[in-house]
Structure 1
Amino acid sequence: MNKRQLGKSDLYLSEISLGCMSLGTDEKKASRIIDEALDAGINYLDTADLYDFGRNEEIVGKAIKNRRQDILLGSKVGNNFDRNKEDWFWDPSKEHIKKGVKDSLQRLGTDYIDLYQLHGGTIEDNIDESIEAFEELKQEGVIREYGISSIRPNVIREYAKRSNIVSVMMQYNALDRRPEEEMLDFLHGNDISVLARGPLAKGMLSDHAKEVATKKADDGFLQYSKEEMLAITEQYTDYASGERSLNALALQYVLHHPAVASAVFGASSVDQLHENLGYLEAAPMTEQLFGELQALTKPIKYDKHR
């Protein structure tokens, strides 16, 4: 598995990595998915305190108990939640961030987190206070690096200017090309890496593209109408070949830009994991192929996310 440097840090992430939100609450099943991912060479696991109101971190923690030294672990903070009420509110305060990391460390069964991320954010937040919290946690040694999970260009630019973030997690795939228009070159120029979540566009760019698009495209997708989505997936499936699966193609697409450190996919079954691991056997992406995929879709821009 090839690895890519995360910003200017000394963290090197596998090109594809496992987003843990979809693992579910069956500990045995989740542990098997994680074990097989790690055995295949994936070294980055991404979770968050809000996933299943802390339960996801607990499950991940148990699964990695004897393999902590083999992995880079990412989690997120910023949603102040009540597990019993299953409710939460946005809270990027220094007090909550510093309490949140203690809670996450306990659930994860570890004494440090490799990448700690602010799980959202708006331009109205006290950004300097949030940054101060992350910087203190880094100095204390409970986190190695920090980043943000955001698709708001104005927020991302402020953190790039005012903080030492090494990464931004954002949705990016061949259908959601918003990062291409405004963010990828900017972040690359600032030595900040992208963790691309949703690389398979909810399955509409997977080996099951037609089936998934038929089920999910009734309300369209972003700025695409249902008719456009079905037409795109019809053309997209023509790219399935012996050289690469559609899953592999989707992952290769987001990894084409040098700003992207890792494509973070979810898996709720071992079968889904294996479909994505087909990436390891795929023929390399070419400039011509990348251009053809771009031509299928729209160069949409961020609109309301400011």
Structure 2
Amino acid sequence: MPLRELGRDGPMVGAIGFGCLSLSGYYGGGALDETAAIRLIHGAIDLGVTLLDTADMYGMGDNERVLGKAIAHRRDAVFVATKFGNILDSTGKIIGISGRPDFVRRSCEQSLRRLGIEAIDLYQQHRIDRETPIEETVGAMQELVDEGKVRFIGVGEARPSDLRRAVATATITTLQSEYSLFVRAPESDDVLSVCEELGVGFLAYAPLGRGLLAGRFPGPDEFVEGDSRAKGLYPWLTGDDLEHNRALVHELGNVAAELGATTAQASLAWLLSEREWIVPIPGTRHAEYVEQNISAAFLELPESSRRRLDALGRNALGDRYNAHHMPTWTSSPSESSPPPAPEARRHV
């Protein structure tokens, strides 16, 4: 697996990571059996994956526990990334977001116990808390670095203004946001350009468009129970927008065929070609797809093919989240962050 540096002077990780979300049944089918999940993670590691991305909210903590068991005897081979910030009720429903310093510290201690490790390689704020100055949040995260409980820190779905304030306060290694051939918000919102300016690496979640770019998106009557994609959360994956985007996937297939690749591999190869500090973190429940995804890191993408893919993706239609979730779950500029706390100081 080729290696990539996460940001300026950041850690080296495999060019393609592994997102653990789907192991908890986010796209239906329930949580993957623990033995099967561990086998899948081990298979990814054997193929060269080093960055494993989870979150404290996935499976209400079970995702971290399973990952911890999977890496118990392979700790030196992996780079563990987890996230905090979402407040859940007893059913696992998100009822709030917190970046308060006391919440940051408590969440970190809980993740360390579930993962069974002494230090988290990359600790990320899952979503920005619009009620807490980001300086307070990342300041608390930096203190965890100073204490040896965390090695690097990152933010999720941050706007350029958020990122600038965070970098002015702490050493930020990564920003994680949704980015794919069909979801281009990090480009239009100037997130990528600011990451480049500030030397911050980028983790691309949902790099295969929640299955659409892999050609494996269910029809209206094919969703299994518990599949979040059936709930209208993602407008670009519903109704007329979905049908339009499905047609684009057919065109994507033509380009991929010329490359001797799958649509998923072509999509990941395009993403890797965008910036040398972007690391996609696709997830799956199937070993064969893990292998296919990793193969994209070795796919040669001619400039002519890259341009065709780029133009094709710009024709995708629809918002990535619905109006209810857009302000808090994404880097949409519809709200502004609270002003910096008067006592805010730089933690580096």
TM over 0.5: yes
Instruction: Give distance in 2, aligned partners of 1:149 and 1:280.
Output: 24
The 3 A distance-change label for structure 1 pair 10 and 296 is: closer
Q: Which has the higher contact order (CA 8 A, sep 6+)?
A: 2
Equivalent residue for 2:301? Answer: 285
Question: CA offset at residue 53 of structure 1?
Answer: 0.6
Indicate yes or no: 2:95 matched with 1:86.
no
Where does residue 284 of structure 2 map in the other structure?
267
1:288 deviation in Å?
Answer: 1.7
Q: Shift of the alpha carbon at 1:185?
A: 2.0
Please report how far the alpha carbon of residue 268 of structure 1 lies from its aligned counterpart in structure 2 after TM superposition.
1.3
* Counterpart for residue 186 of structure 1: 194
Shift of 1:8: 2.7
Cα displacement (A) at 1:281? 4.7
Give the Å deviation of 1:259.
5.5
CA-CA distance at 1:108 after TM superposition: 0.2
Distance 2:243 2:87 in 1: 40
User: Following superposition of structure 1 onto structure 2, how do residues 59-78 of structure 1 map, counting pairs within 5 Å?
Assistant: 59-78=66-85
- List per-residue Cα deviations over 1:181-240 (Å, max 9, x = no partner): 22212211210010011110011111x25x647767998517972342132122111123
Alignment RMSD (CA, Å): 2.6
The answer to whether the Cα contact below 8 Å between 2:16 and 2:297 also exists between their aligned partners in 1 is: no
1:194–1:236 CA distance, 2 compared to 1 (3 A): same
Aligned residue number for residue 221 of structure 1 = 236
- 1:143-201 Cα deviation digits (max 9, x unpaired): 00100111544433432444321100010001001112222122112100100111100
Q: In structure 2, the residue corresponding to 1:240 is in which secondary structure?
A: helix
Equivalent in the alignment of 1:104? 111
1:129-140 paired onto structure 2 within 5 Å: 129-140=136-147
The TM-score normalised by the length of structure 2 is 0.79
Letter in structure 1 aligned against 2:60: F
1:285 is displaced (CA, Å) by: 1.6
| Residue matched to 2:336 | none
Mark the CA change 1:86 to 1:297 in structure 2 (over 3 Å): closer, same or farther: closer
Deviation at 1:100, TM superposition (A): 0.8
- Structure 1 residues without counterparts, runs of 5 or longer: none
Matching residue within 249, 252, 275 for 1:236 = 252
Superposed CA deviations along residues 69-108 of structure 1, whole A, max 9, x for unmatched, are: 11100001112335x4434431111001111111000000
2:28: which partner in 1? none
**Aligned: 1:4 with 2:4:** yes
- Residue 41 (structure 2) pairs with residue 34 (structure 1): yes
The separation in 1 between residues aligned to 2:307 and 2:131, in whole angstroms, is 38
- Cα deviation for residue 243 of structure 1 reads 2.8
Per mean C-alpha deviation after superposition, the further-off stretch among 267-276 and 90-99 is: 267-276
CA distance in 1, matches of 2:112, 2:204: 24
* 1:172 is the counterpart of 2:179: yes
Q: CA deviation at 1:10?
A: 4.2
Amino acid at match of 1:197: Y
CA displacement at 1:11 relative to structure 2: 1.1
Write 1 or 2 for the structure with the bigger share of strand.
Answer: 1
Residues 155 and 20 of structure 1: is their aligned pair in 2 closer, same or farther, counting only changes over 3 Å?
same
> TM-score scaled to structure 1, two decimals?
0.89
Shift, 1:294, TM fit: 1.8
Structure 2: 5+ residue stretches without partners: 25-30, 223-228, 321-325, 334-348
